[in-house]
A = this chain, B = another copy of it.
Amino acid sequence: MTRRMSQARGIPEATVARLPLYLRALNGMAERGVATVSSEDLAVAAGVNSAKLRKDLSHLGSYGTRGVGYDVEYLIYQISRELGLTQDWAVAIIGVGNLGRALANYGGFVSRGFRVAALFDADPDVVGDHIAGLNVEHIDDLEAVIRRRGVSIAVIATPAAKAQQVCDRVMSAGVTSILNFAPVVLSVPDDVDVRKVDLSIELQILAFHEQRKADRMSGGPVMAEEWPEAVNLSISSDVVGSLGSVRSADPAGTGERESQ
């Protein structure tokens, strides 16, 4: 009874994004010899609250035991399977600059379930280098090598200007999952998944909150009246179109602040 049946059609994206967190916490517990864990303990280890954790796990099926908790090894297996980690995925890294090199060498990141199968670069000086036990191939061979080695995930670590064309090429070689480190919005068809990692965006988000905290310290909830004159006119006709290719005017050399 209570046969499988449940889960199936689609685990919420938010849940998928947390499963790796649970998996990591569970692996730590397994290493320390923990056999069973309650939703409360696992939630703490993963940094979420326990109701959320239970709901997340309930999307995979009923893998817990009421009054007891979850069997650590069993849950590890179920989550791994759900995430597709019971098979090995071949990953290609395109762009072997500082970042690409770091990624290739980042032993831990390409852990169980993933295998760096190819490295590519356009620079002839770099092609042929031996990095993390792999030869750097020339970008011209991208499609052929990707197909031959069955690469299904591409990591783009090229300069921003090359990212879209690299993206187009890996897609033409059949890749439908891309991890993008270049600071550009890639355009891809609906059947291709792109995840991006963008350092400057993360920093900017932190800066926003940092600024809020700083403001709270000093002025308290300052609001209104917080910016340079010549502002309420909004666009006011002739300003528009006058700036040409000037980069950053900084319309009042300030150093603002604001609300909150």
Question: Residues of A with Cβ closer than 8 Å to B?
Answer: 3-5, 7-10, 16-17, 19-21, 23-25, 27, 30-33, 35-36, 45-47, 62-65, 68, 70-74, 76-77, 80-87, 89, 91, 97-99, 101-103, 105-106, 108-114, 152-153, 160, 176-179, 183, 185, 187, 191, 193, 195, 197-211, 213, 221, 223-227, 234-235, 239-252, 254-260
Contact = CB atoms under 8 A, between A and B. Distances in A.
Given A202-B197, A254-B80, A260-B108, A46 B208 contact: no
Contact of A183 (B98, B108, B225): B108
A245 B204 contact: no
A197 to B, nearest CB: 6
A82 B225 CA distance: 14
Contacts of A70: 235
Contacts of A103: 199
A42 to B, nearest CB: 12
B208 A82 contact: yes
A259 B13 CA distance: 15
Contacts of A239: 71, 74
Contact of A234 (B32, B62, B240): B62
Nearest to A107: B260
Contact of A197 (B197, B245, B249): B197
A7 B258 CA distance: 10
B205 A16 contact: yes
B112 A256 contact: yes
